[in-house]
């Protein structure tokens, strides 16, 4: 049997989940996503990734700015869906939406709850130096990621993994886990487990003010900060790259190394920056307005030494 589904998602992360629902033969009654917004340097209005994907699949797409009105509630109910699937949608669901489908709303969440409830679980797990995380299928309730857990998949975080790497891995695992959850739901074998009351942490949204690299921190913390913000929004520092030319440089990949004798050491095509408790090697960098490059290519573009600028 197939389920009548309303899908709610916005970024690229949600596309494999919607694709899995379609491949399973479920009846997607509607796709909800964020409204088109200005994006890029030109400020051209752009549809969300899930909006483009859903339209190409011939699905009905809705882009409400809010869901609290009576009209929004009635529109949602009019699709007569059995269940709603929510994957990085970006809007809070009011009670009338959560209760509109007989089977409720399922959410694909990128952490091992109750650790990292909230908006940025992938980035926060890496920034905190977690050695593992996971993806979970959760039965949504009115709290912030407080619902019962239905299925989960454990994901190791190697020391060099970036948020982008983890995002791509979790995106595929999440879709597979969702497919398994829907199969179990159809069989009547999907069991719910309450979240533990201990171990709750919150993954607040990444703020621009925390993206600048603080080289005074321990090297391992700086490395985790860099990879947790890579590729977006990107951890950065300011440096003089030519006489009188100060640039803002993003670091996309890094490593932890031994203590060096000066603030910046360049040798054999490598860059090391001194921190507390060691140094950080810069492996992939991006100058303003340029594409990401490996260290050797970055050094080839320098017109002098690399001098850190503190403010």
Domain ranges in the chain?
4-202, 208-309
Chain center to CA of 178:
17
Residues 6+ apart with CB under 8 A from 105: 83, 84, 85, 86, 93, 97, 98, 139, 140
Distance, in Å, from the CA atom of 171 to the CA atom of 17, rounded to the nearest integer, reads: 8
Specify the pTM: 0.95
The CATH number given to 4-202 is 3.40.50.170
CB atoms within 10 A of CB 277: 12
Q: Degrees (nearest 5) of the Cα angle 126, 130, 136?
A: 85
What pLDDT sits at residue 188? 92
Q: Given 3.30.465.10, 3.40.50.10790, 3.10.25.10, 3.40.50.80, which CATH number is that of 208-309?
A: 3.10.25.10
DSSP string, 77-113: HHT--SEEEEES--SPPPHHHHTSSTT-EEEEESSST
Distance, in Å, from the CA atom of 209 to the CA atom of 49, rounded to the nearest integer, reads: 27
What pLDDT sits at residue 264? 94
Q: Residues 12-50, buried b or exposed e (16+ Cβ, 10 A)?
A: ebbbbbbebbbeeebebbbbbbbeeeeeeeeeeeebbbb
Are 181 and 20 within 8 A, CB to CB? no
DSSP H or E segment with residue 280: strand 278-287
Q: Using one digit for the tens of pLDDT, what is the confidence trace for 187-229? A: 999 999 999 999 999 999 999 999 999 999 999 999 999 999 9
What pLDDT sits at residue 39? 79
Query: Which contacts qualify for 42-49: CB closer than 8 Å, 24 or more apart?
Result: 48/10, 48/11, 49/10, 49/11, 49/12, 49/14, 49/15
Report residues of the chain scoring pLDDT below 70: 311
């Amino acid at each position: 049997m197939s389920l009548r589904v309303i899908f709610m998602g916005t970024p690229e992360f949600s596309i494999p989940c919607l694709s899995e629902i379609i491949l399973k033969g479920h009846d997607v009654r509607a796709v909800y996503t964020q409204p088109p917004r200005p994006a890029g340097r030109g400020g051209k209005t752009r549809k969300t990734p899930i909006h483009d994907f859903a339209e190409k699949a011939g699905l009905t797409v809705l882009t409400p700015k809010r869901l609290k009105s009576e009209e929004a509630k009635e529109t949602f109910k009019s699709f007569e869906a059995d269940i709603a699937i929510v994957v990085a949608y970006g809007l809070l669901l009011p009670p009338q939406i959560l209760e509109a489908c007989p089977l409720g709303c399922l959410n694909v969440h990128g952490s091992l709850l109750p650790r990292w409830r909230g908006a940025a679980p992938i980035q926060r797990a890496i920034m905190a130096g977690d050695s593992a995380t996971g993806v979970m299928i959760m039965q949504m309730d009115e709290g912030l990621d407080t619902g019962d857990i239905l299925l989960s998949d454990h994901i190791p975080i190697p020391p060099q993994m970036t948020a982008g790497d983890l995002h791509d891995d979790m995106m595929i695992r999440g879709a597979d886990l969702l497919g398994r959850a829907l199969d179990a739901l159809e069989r009547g074998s999907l069991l719910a487990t309450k979240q533990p009351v201990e171990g709750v942490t919150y993954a607040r949204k990444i703020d621009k003010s925390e993206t600048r690299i603080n080289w005074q921190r321990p090297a391992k913390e700086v490395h985790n900060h860099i990879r947790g913000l890579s590729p977006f929004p990107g951890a950065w520092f300011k440096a003089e790259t030519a006489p009188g030319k100060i640039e803002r440089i993003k670091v996309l990949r890094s490593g932890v190394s031994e203590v060096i004798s000066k603030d910046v050491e360049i040798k054999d095509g490598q860059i090391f920056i001194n921190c507390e408790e060691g140094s950080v090697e810069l492996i992939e960098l991006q100058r303003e307005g340029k594409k990401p490059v490996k260290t050797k290519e970055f050094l080839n573009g320098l017109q002098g030494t690399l001098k850190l600028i503190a403010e």
